[in-house]
């Protein structure tokens, strides 16, 4: 009888330990996005903004003073948090021209981003992925070149960035770092200019906020 009781107690202990381990593993797989008011609810507009995004090409660099990527949060507190963007704005005031970005080879350029919506995914490994509808794309129109062949359209299957992940109870600000993400020239795009290089490499940093302030994350 004592043996049966001991086995019963052992079974209960093992079950409880297994449950605790499973609970701990699950907790470690959850990424929680917060702002200064608490956990960010699904449906909230979050915005990634950059002031140093640069596309490096063999024909020169493309630099915009501002890149703004708003997206609507669709999943929070999961192993893979998600949002969806329907626009991305790239603009500056190069040479006093409203909206114009700087290029080192062809002067001022206007940027149009394409192929929305862009689904976005953030994992507990600190990797952010942006995809387009088919591809992420943008077109540069060079104001110093005579049209209609004064554009370069670049595309990528996705953009990968990294960001720090805070430990449970120790949230850290979400800052995406994009490093040398390759965009290929779409030679068949309308208005492609002869000066367009075959590819460009995108790099820069993005801070993430919502209406309440800085976005943070933790496991």
Measured distance CA(81)–CA(76) in Å, rounded: 5
- Residue 105 confidence (pLDDT): 84
- Residue 16 confidence (pLDDT): 39
CB environment 102-139: b (16+ within 10 A), e (fewer): bbeebebbbbebbeeebbbbbbbebebebbbeebbbbb
In angstroms, the Cα distances linking 145 to 64, 107, 151 are 19, 9, 9
- Residue 29 confidence (pLDDT): 62
- Residue 4 confidence (pLDDT): 37
Residue spans of the domains in the chain: they are: 1-30, 31-218
- Residue 2 confidence (pLDDT): 41
143 contact partners, CB below 8 Å, separation of at least 6: 97, 100, 107, 108, 109, 110, 150
pTM of the model: 0.85
Local mean pLDDT, 10-residue blocks, the chain (219 residues) = 40 38 47 97 98 96 97 97 98 97 94 97 97 96 95 98 96 98 98 96 98 97
- Residue 115 confidence (pLDDT): 96
């Amino acid at each position: 009888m004592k043996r049966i009781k001991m086995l019963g107690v052992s079974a209960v202990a093992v079950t409880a330990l297994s449950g605790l381990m499973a609970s701990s593993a699950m907790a470690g797989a959850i990424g929680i996005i917060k702002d200064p008011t608490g956990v960010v609810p699904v449906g909230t507009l979050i915005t990634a903004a950059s002031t140093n995004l640069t596309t490096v090409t063999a024909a020169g660099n493309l630099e915009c003073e501002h890149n703004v990527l708003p997206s609507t949060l669709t999943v929070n507190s999961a192993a893979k948090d998600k949002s969806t963007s329907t626009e991305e704005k790239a603009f500056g005031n190069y040479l006093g021209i409203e909206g114009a970005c700087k290029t080192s080879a062809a002067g001022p350029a206007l940027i149009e981003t394409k192929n929305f919506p862009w689904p976005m995914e953030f994992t507990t490994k600190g990797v952010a992925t942006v995809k387009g509808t088919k591809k992420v794309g943008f077109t540069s129109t060079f104001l110093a070149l005579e049209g209609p062949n004064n554009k370069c359209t670049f595309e990528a299957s996705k953009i990968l960035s990294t960001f720090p992940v805070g430990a449970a109870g120790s949230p850290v600000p979400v800052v995406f770092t994009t490093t040398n993400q390759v965009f290929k020239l779409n030679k068949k795009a309308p208005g492609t200019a002869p000066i367009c290089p075959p590819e460009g490499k995108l790099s820069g940093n993005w801070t993430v906020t919502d209406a309440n302030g800085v976005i943070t994350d933790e496991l």
